[in-house]
Amino acid sequence: MRARVRGRRGLQPLPRCAVRRALDRVPHRARNVRRHAHDVRPPRLRRRRQRRGCPPRRDQRQADPDPRLHDLRRHGRARRNHLRVPVELGRPHRGRRNDPARCDLRRRDRRDEPLRRPRLREGGAVRWADHRDDLERRRPRRLQRLDEVHHHRGHPSLRRHARHRPPATAGGRGAVAPLLRLGLLSTARINEAILTGARQSGAVEVTAVASRDVVRALAYAQEHDIDRAHASYEELLEDSDVDAIYISLPNSMHVEWSIRALEAGKHVLCEKPMSRHPEEVERAFDVADQHERVLMEAFMYRHHLQSHALHELVLSGGIGQLRQLRARFSFTLENPEDVRLRPELDGGALMDLGCYCISGSRLVAGEPTLVFGRQVVGQTGVDMRFAAVMEFPGDVLAEFHCAFDLPYERGLEAIGSKAAVLVPEPWTCRDPHLRLNGERIDVADADRYQLQLENFAAAAHGDTEPLLGRDDAVGQARAIDALYRSAASGAAVSL
């Protein structure tokens, strides 16, 4: 009997489409009718059996091309989503178990267990039990909807949109390492880049900052949402809630505070250059080995994929035999009170800018065997301009210049017997790409400070070796020291 509705002319038959819409609004478990999207019987017969509460007969079901989809439909109202993959919107009945012969959605040792829905919190906020208690992630609305369904996790089109899992870190596959708690030793401007990289990495958390001015430390901590502020560097080293120290002090103080932090049991990420004296760098790494701590020089550009691409291209013979290197880095330093212009703090263009040119040349050519340098000393007593030629094994020559009193310029070029490759932005890695004989080769972009912190954190947890270790830091200091000695004497210096 058809449903009727009262109108002006008395009881009128209710359209069948309205009946079906009304039934769809009834909760699934509140009605005894179980509709199947794959039932292809005539509409009248199908509705008659539904009114009697009879399930569809097996011989009247459409053969489904995917038996797993059919098994999902047995447990509730089903449909296909916009990704064209089978999903189920209804929750399985309690006590029901999937038929292993017809459904192979789970691992072999878990086929007899009932399906369980992923647990979601209100608003789509997911809290992982194996993460820190205060870690809470927000995910796009589409992913929240996908989390509320039981789906075939092996489907390739759905695997890309599956629930985001925390990255596997220390402790093996799927294990989550604790965040490396980093303390900032000073309030230098370079800290801004470290704070941004730490927020993006998910492996490092900046928990403390120290300054010799307590007002400055408190203001800096409040501005950058840092938990603790210390009125002295010694207090930061004694902080038990800090695992590692980032040292961004002037160049002359790098080795001293690196050693003090290592002796306090902290891992150390020290700004470049660590020192102009190789014996001081050796002593710092000896202390790191003695206390089983990680010490790394912070050449952030070396962690970028652009630097890796250049290294692989040259070493693989992509430009033939390497013969010549050209590097440059300069800008105008207008502040006369800048610490980089103070000789007692080891300032100068070679220490601040030339160290990049030396490092980039050593990246592809190895260690120099002979260097010759010339400098122009400014009014403050530091080198405002420095030009150098370095000789590497295999008759490879490298030339570079750096300056504090020239317009902004940067670049690194490697010339081989067959081709030449140019890196327009080797140090800042903006718009990362290479130019091989003028042809552009794009490189995936990433935050170089984030990559540096991730490598440092992994090394501190014992998962990997630091990208830049003792040999690289000592080789860098030897080249800088030799160039200063050459500029002072006016003669080439052999290493």
Q: Report, as residue numbers or ranges, the catalytic residues.
A: 272
The residue written with tokens 């250059």 in the block is: 273
Here the tokens at position 39 are 């039932």
- How many C-beta atoms surround the C-beta of residue 98 within 10 A? 21
The C-alpha atoms of residue 59 and residue 38 are separated, in whole angstroms, by: 12
Q: What is the Cα–Cα distance from 361 to 88, expressed in whole angstroms?
A: 58
H or E stretch at 453 = helix 448-460
Q: CA nearest 272: which of 393, 448, 486, 414?
A: 448
| 286 token code pair | 């000896």
CB neighbours (10 Å) of residue 349? 29
Task: Give dist(CA 464, CA 456) in Å, integer.
Answer: 9
How far apart are alpha carbons 457 and 463 in whole angstroms?
Answer: 9
Taking the C-alpha atoms of residue 74 and residue 92, their distance in angstroms, rounded to an integer, is 9
User: What residues form DSSP beta bridges with 267?
Assistant: 244
Residue with tokens 């992982």: 128
Instruction: Using the CB atoms, write b or e for 360-383: b if 16+ within 10 Å.
Output: bbbbbbebbeebbbebeebeeebb
Its sign, for the CA torsion 160, 161, 163, 166, is: positive
| Other CB atoms within 10 Å distance of the CB of residue 216 | 15
